[in-house]
Amino acid sequence: LAKTTQPISMDSYEGQEVNITCSHNNIATNDYITWYQQFPSQGPRFIIQGYKTKVTNEVASLFIPADRKSSTLSLPRVSLSDTAVYYCLVGDFTGGGNKLTFGTGTQLKVEL
C-alpha cells in the first residue's frame, strides 16, 4: 500500500496561495493521486485528480513531479470558506479500490 504523509495543519490568510504537499514514496505504477476537501460534519468532496505532471481545474491545481513520489495541491487566493481538512488519496482504483489509502489530512485554517 502506498503510505501517504501530509502536514497536520497549515495557516494562511485570505487572498494567499496555499500549497499542500503529500508524500507517497512507494506509489505504484497504477496509482492515481486524488485530493478531497472535508468540512466539519460533512463527507469529503472531490477536488482534483492526476497521474503525472500538472492538472488544473476551476478550483485548484495539482503538481506531480516526474518520480511521482509526492504531489502538491495548490489553492489560489484562498478565502475563509476554504478552511477545511484536505486529504490526499493515493491508490489503485482498479479492482474495486481496496488499496486506496487516505493521508491523515491537513487542517487548513484561513484567516482575515
Partner 1 sequence: DTAVSQTPKYLVTQMGNDKSIKCEQNLGHDTMYWYKQDSKKFLKIMFSYNNKELIINETVPNRFSPKSPDKAHLNLHINSLELGDSAVYFCASSQDSRYEQYFGPGTRLTVT
List residues near partner 1 by CB under 8 A: 32, 34, 41-46, 49, 85, 87, 93-98, 100, 102, 104-105
What is the closest distance, in whole angstroms, from the C-beta atom of residue 85 to partner 1 in the complex? Answer: 6
Which residue, 62 or 112, is less far from partner 1 as judged by CB? Answer: 62
Cα distance between residue 69 and residue 48, in whole Å: 17
Task: Write the CB contacts of 36 (distance below 8 Å, at least 6 apart in sequence).
Answer: 44, 45, 46, 47, 86, 87, 89, 102
Give least dist CB 64 to partner 1, A: 16
Contact yes or no for 48/37 (Cβ under 8 A): no
Least distance to partner 1 from the beta carbon of 18, Å?
Answer: 19
